[in-house]
Amino acid sequence: SLELDATHQNVITVSIPNDFDGNIEVSTNTGDITVTDIDAKTLKSQTDYGDIYIAETNADVETNTDTGDTELHSLHGNISAVSDTGDTSAENVNGDTIRIESRIGDIYLLADGAENDYSINGVGDGQKTIYTDTDMGDTEITFTGSMTE
């Protein structure tokens, strides 16, 4: 068993073997989650109070935070990012399905490819799907590529 004193800063570092091809779940009640350089089937992260940062990852990614910001960088795989209160930034992400929701918070998405590669919130004929929704906040979606014919 592992017990941590909540009055002190605690950091747990876990190294995953390069040939790992399973599912990863990371959760905390209070605290930030940072995940980098992972190849896995799925990566799920959840925190009640804290930020989530995921980068350089090849996996289907699912994040959920009640109060905290989410930053996603250079991801390859389907993405589902949900936040009750907090901003979500996803840059250089490439997946068939990208879903970002925030009850209170801004959404910024820089998706790999061109705009017409995607169906965005039900509009468009693209093979990939982007869905964004925020009750109170701004949404900005940009693309790394030019429109294709």
pLDDT tens-digit profile of 69-82? 999 999 999 999 99
**C-alpha 125: how far from chain center:** 24
User: What contacts 63, CB < 8 A, 6 or more positions away?
Assistant: 44, 45, 46, 52, 54, 70, 72, 80, 81, 82, 83
* Average pLDDT in the chain: 90
pLDDT at 47 over 80: yes
Average pLDDT over residues 86-93: 97
Task: State the pLDDT at residue 100.
Answer: 98
**Which residues sit opposite 107 in a β-bridge?**
88, 139
pLDDT tens-digit profile of 3-17? 444 445 667 777 888
pLDDT tens-digit profile of 93-119? 999 999 999 999 999 999 999 999 999
